[in-house]
Chains A and B, each alone.
Chain A
């Protein structure tokens, strides 16, 4: 991996294809291009996909974040981490050509890892797929010093296979990739949250809820979002939707109890808190929070004569 290729790989052994006419139906022509300098295909490819999402950066700025001489095997992870640092969500795609195609169709350029080596010598290379022409069976890539490199699909698949078909997309937080699931989206969002403004996070949660209204993790995240913003009625509603789908969801049950308590409903809170405590596995790191909720619900329920509860 340390041979993050460089100029040598670019002179590779592949024959040049005749130029393909640019066709906006099959090609993300507006994706920027940063010609790679020596050994810097990682920063160049990352600047390319980030640029496509509106992040203004250069390979030179990204280089200190992702180019670590002598370090092997962690590079892909660092590319994703650097994208998060720029306020973008990072998704590793399923290792299938169909996933790559689906993202292209949705307008997302795809970062790929290729082995451009020959004769048993590996030469790892990051490039960005910006188009696919099914008629010609040709992919269009921003690669190395070529703004519009054409590779036949079978040739591309051969180089892509060596890196176990590793591919990734980066997106704005409010624009989930075509192949994301509710769960993968919330995970990606959680990994990026500390780099995002609060309104970006709430926008992203709202987008997720519209697209995956029945995903437990999406409902939990939206419940927590509303709770943090002090919107108790909305939070309670989200947690209840979640529990209707997954009644044994420990965090959902606990947080519903907590929100009910804050909403002035200690008796309902106690019922939920007791259920949450009964769901608690041994040695759970969530035990402290669940027991805390239960203790507070018990204390509140015993002293509650007149309830201000309005949540049913």
Chain B
């Protein structure tokens, strides 16, 4: 993302230096691919939020000292690739998503989210 911003900045600088007008294609058009990746991202976030919202998962998180609301917020900070990975792991959990193993799995994924977004150093303690 940072790389992308810097590319945009360089492009803008070039336009200024060359004195070009930027009236054509000026406004922010959303390309088909950009739209599709935004849509996929929203779907992954919804899946993760639904999993974190389960009562049994929330109880486990609270007992571990993790604020579920914080976990939901942090999930939005994941990169597209990280989010896709977490969502895929979630889909690989035991069929039906019920029962003890599923809760353990979701809690583990939440801890992974927190680790990825730098909130905890939980894995370094093991």
Contacts and interface: CB of A to CB of B under 8 A. Distances in A.
Nearest to B73: A283
Contact of B33 (A193, A282, A283): A193
B26 A289 contact: no
A5 interface: no
B76 A283 contact: yes
Interface stretch (B37-45, B50-58, B63-71): B37-45
A201 B102 CA distance: 43
A285 B38 CA distance: 6
Interface size bucket, B side? 10 to 19
B38 A255 contact: no
Contact of A289 (B28, B33, B37, B42): B28
Interface residues of A, number: 34
B99 interface: no
B36 interface: yes
A66 interface: no
B42 A254 contact: no
Given A281-B42, A283-B76, A285-B38, A251 B30 contact: yes
A190 B24 contact: no
A286 B38 contact: yes
Contacts of B36: 187, 190
B81 interface: no
Interface of A: 186-187, 190, 193, 217, 220-221, 224, 227, 250-251, 254-255, 257-259, 261-262, 269, 273, 281-286, 288-293, 296-297
